[in-house]
Structures are given as structure tokens and as C-alpha cells.
Amino acid sequence: MRKEIESVVLNAISRLQEKSKWTVFDVPTVSIDRPKDNAHGDWVTNVSFAIAKMLKKTPVVVAEELATEINTAVSENISHADGIAPGFVNFSLHRKAVIGEVQKIVNEKDDFGKNTVLTGQKIMVEYTQPNPFKPFHIGHLMSNTIGESISRIVEFCGANVVRANYQGDVGPHVAKSLWAIQKFGYDITNIDEIGKAYAKGHEAYEADEKAKEEIHAINKAVYMCSDDALMRLYAIGRQKTLERFEEIYAILGTKFDAYYFESETWKRGAQVVREHMGDIFEESDGAVIFDGEEYNLHKRVFITSQGLPTYEAKEIGLALLKKETNPSDLYMMTTAVEQEEYFKVVMKAIELVDATFAGKIIHIPHGMMMLTTGKMSSRKGNVITGETLIADAQEVARHKMSERAIDHSRESTVNMIAVAGIKFGILRQFIGKNIAYDTESAMSFDGDSGPYLQYTYARCQSVIAKAQEKGIMSSFAHPCEGSILLERLLVQFPEIVVRANAERAPHQIATYIIKCAREFNAYYAKNVLIDDRDRELSAYRIAVAQATAQVVKNGLFLLGISTPEKM
């Protein structure tokens, strides 16, 4: 439809010039968009502003003249055009054209909104990145939520997506946990005990020089696999934490295609850094650094004075391993915004090591999740873990479901609603900003929340089922009422998907489907959807409910949220 309206505008400009009403000029680019206020028609163009400068007229006069000329030509799809202040031309479609667009939603079902803008591209999205021997904290929950949504959006746009998870299974955090397990007898088979051991080890590392030396020794022994008894402990702790992470992924609805570990990347990274001593890296006080200041960045250590690789060197090994195992057109990764400057340096170093990575690595930073006690840190043991947050959401979901007489005995439905609350609470806001999260409001069935959207979907399904019981089937054949705002919203979904992909902004989808849900619930409150006295009108209204359900379902899917059929 956008192309058709663009053609109509260009033809009208040409006719005005042929009639000598307008002088001949180079026609500017005609941009056709949706109006910000959906009450202002179906489409809008601001081309009058550019033309006004060439004709030395006011934009509103140009808009009125252009609209008048457009209305002189008969169009199969455009009902009329209006020139309005300060200079826009709004277009309203014929009823038949609007219905045809809405009907596509029902016909295309789960494919509605899919496009081909990324067809032929292979994109790796790396996200979540929890480290064995540490708790799965809320930062990992945020990364998982954002990464999964971005993966689904780019996949919806035609890309072949590889979901990747990079985890730190060697390094100081591992040594701190193992030190405390050996010293204080924490149970290596118990994931909660492992988390306590890490907090205890970190506390000792900061306060006790002897403990610090012992932890450094353990760290080196793990890298070199030089202590059999230690490595047996290490293997058990690593396995237990990775198994727990998989349980969390199952609840969140994520399945990874590729797993990468620091134990696989550190040797390669350190080797490459040493191979490029003198041209990319240099020695400084016994360590090996990258002088990012030459590129308006900052200096970072890649190999410590003890000869061990830092996270930075491991990132080089990771990039090369990704390229060898899953060569992609684009490598995306989502981590906390506080790592943004770090990644600028690392990405520059990787590009200098291997020029084929230039422009192919994208860091998507996200803000922090702020709770009532502020930002949590697993280093001090006062962390609100991702598991705790999920458990709290599940408990609130059970309570709210019981209040509404919804069956809360089915764990799958409880999980579905709890995850919806958490994920929507994260994705409804711009991902680069910190998020103020409150479980009660996130789990609301009445506010702008994931459960509210699920409830709207279930309401649509309930109405459709009741209509079918009465023999009323959805149909667009006899639209017995005028154009409604809900229709204009629903058909915009494909454009919202394109925008969310271009901006890497899941909040665009979240904001949009909330508008659709609000409008449907207002429509539901004002109208009788199932009326035996007017079955044709009921059939049309049921079709609108079906279209609403599909758009909400598709939108929630792109946010990584499932839709229960009944609530």
C-alpha cells in the first residue's frame, strides 16, 4: 500500500505541473508513513514541506492543493486525501481495502509480519553468558530476555540465526569458589552452596593477602590442569552449575545452538596476542597491553604480568573460534552497558588481528535492573538471583490466578505467566536504560504487562470459542460497521517488526501490542461481540477478535513470551 500511495502522490504532482498550476521542479523523495495519531487516517506524507520551499508557498497550501488533485482521480484503494496544517497530506482507505489488510492477518496466521529484509544473512546472537561457579543473576536474566527477543526478531526478518552462549569456566571467580570449597567444606554438589563459596572466596580475596595468594595459585592450577584433586572438584562444580543453567533456560524458553567456554578460547587468544607483539600489542610493566589511545579509546591489559590471559585476550580467541565453527555475516552480543567501553577496545583489537571482522561485530548494551535495594552484586553475596526473581514471579502469578479463579495448579501455565511478567517488564523499555522492576506491577492482569497481554489473547480465544459454539464463524464478508481504530492498529504490525529490527529495539513491539490490547479491550467493552439477532455483524466482530489474537500472539512471540489458550 505504501508504494501505491507514493505512486498516487507522484502522479498528482506531475498533473499539477502539466496543468501549469505548479512550476516544474525536481520532485523530492516522497516519504509515506503511518500518522502518529491513528484517528488521522491510514497513511500520511510530509512531502508538501519540501515542495513548499520550491514553490515559495506555505506547506499547508501545498498540502491542500495536492490533496485536491489526488481526490480528482479515482482510486481502487484510496477513499480520499486531506491536506491539514501545518502541511501534511493524510490518506484514508476505502473500507474494502482496510478489510483486505485485516484479513491478511487471519489468513497468514503465525507468518503475519514476517519479511525478507535479512534473507540470505547468517547472524550469530550471543547472550546470557552466566559463569559456572557463580549464581545466575538478574543481569543474566536481562541478557537472556533481550538476546532471545533480538534473535526472534532477526529470524522473523528472514535471517538464519545461531543462538550462542559464552561462559567463563576458568578465571579468578572459579578459583575463589574452589578455594572456599576446600577451606570451609561447602558442598560442591549443591548449587546454592557453590554460590555461597564464591561470595566467601571473593570476600577473603579482598581482605586477606594470604588467601589472595592461594587463590592466584588455584587459578593458575585450573588453567594448567596441574592438580588432579582440584580438577575433580572443578569438574563436579562446573557440571552442576551448567545443569542448573539449562533448567533456567527451559523455563525461559531458550535453546542455544552453540556453547563457547573460556577454557576453549584462552590459549588461542593468548597465542594470537603474543604473535602480534610489536604491531598491535606491546609490553608494559611485565604485562601485554593494547594501546587503544591511538584509536581514541583506552589502554587495556590482554595478558597479565603473571602470564595469564585476561577477558580481553579470551575475546580474541572467542571471535576466531566463532568464525571457524559458525562463520556469520554478523556477530551480535548483548551485555550490560557498563561493558560498552571495554567492548569498543576489544572489537578494535579483533578487527586489527583479523580484518574480516570489520563492521561485523555489534555490541548491544543493556541497562541494569534496579530493585528496591538498588543494583545487586554477586561478589558480596547479597545478590537477588535470576532464580529468585523467577520464583517470586511464580508465587505472585499463583496468587493472582487464584484471585481470578484461574487454575493455578498447572505449573506450565504458572511459569508461562511468570516469565511473561519478567520479560515484558524488561522489554517494554528501551534496552539501553536502567529498568526499575517491581514484581507486583509486572505481574498485573490489568496494567501494561505481559500477563495483561496474555489475558487479552485468552479473552479473544474465549470469545471465538463461544461464537463457534453458537455456529457463528468469523467472516469479513459483511462488515456492517464503519472503520474502527483497532483495524488501523492491527495492520501496522509488519511495519513495527521492520522498525524493531532496524533499531534493534524490542520495546517498539512491546509498546505497539499494548496499544492493540487496550484498543481491543475498549472495543470489547463497548460492543456486543456475539449477538444472535445480528449474526453477520457478530461474524465480523469475531473476525476482528481473531485478528487481534493473532497480532498479540505474534508480538509476544517476538518478545519470547508464550500465550496460554485459557486463563
Q: How many CB atoms lie within 10 A of CB 46?
A: 16
Look at residues 26, 22, 28, 21 and name the one whose alpha carbon lies nearest to residue 45: 28
Residues 226 and 325 in one domain: yes
In a domain, 115, yes or no: no
In the predicted model, what is the mean pLDDT of the chain? 93
DSSP string of 310-363, one letter each residue: -HHHHHHHHHHHHHHHS--SEEEEEEEGGGHHHHHHHHHHHHHH-GGGTTTEEE
Write down which residue in 93, 118, 140 finishes a domain.
93
Q: What is the pLDDT of residues 428-437, one digit of tens each?
A: 999 999 988 8
Residues 410 and 268 in one domain: no
Q: What is the pLDDT of residues 415-459, one digit of tens each?
A: 999 999 999 999 999 999 998 888 888 898 988 999 999 999 999
Q: What is the pLDDT of residues 270-292, one digit of tens each?
A: 999 999 999 999 999 999 999 99
Cα angle 243, 218, 290; round to 5: 90
- Residue 161 corresponds to which cell in the numbers above? 540465526
pLDDT at 482: 62
- The share of the chain scoring above pLDDT 70, in percent, equals 97
Among 66-80, 218-232, 426-440, 477-491, which is the least confidently predicted range?
477-491
Tell me how many domains the chain contains: 3
The structure's pTM equals 0.91
pLDDT at 372: 57
Residues 365 and 405 in one domain: no
Residues 335 and 396 in one domain: no
- Where are any strands of DSSP class E within 201-312? 258-261, 281-284, 287-291, 299-303
Per the structure, the complete domain to which residue 142 belongs is given by 127-380
In a domain, 116, yes or no: no
pLDDT at 2 over 60: yes
pLDDT at 479: 67
- Fill in the DSSP letter of residue 563: -
Residues 201 and 284 in one domain: yes
CATH number of the domain to which 475 belongs: 1.10.730.10
Write down which residue in 329, 360, 380 finishes a domain.
380
- pLDDT-based confidence at 36, cuts 50/70/90? confident
Burial class (CB in 10 A: 0-12, 13-18, 19+), 344: middle
Q: How far apart are alpha carbons 104 and 52 in whole angstroms? A: 38
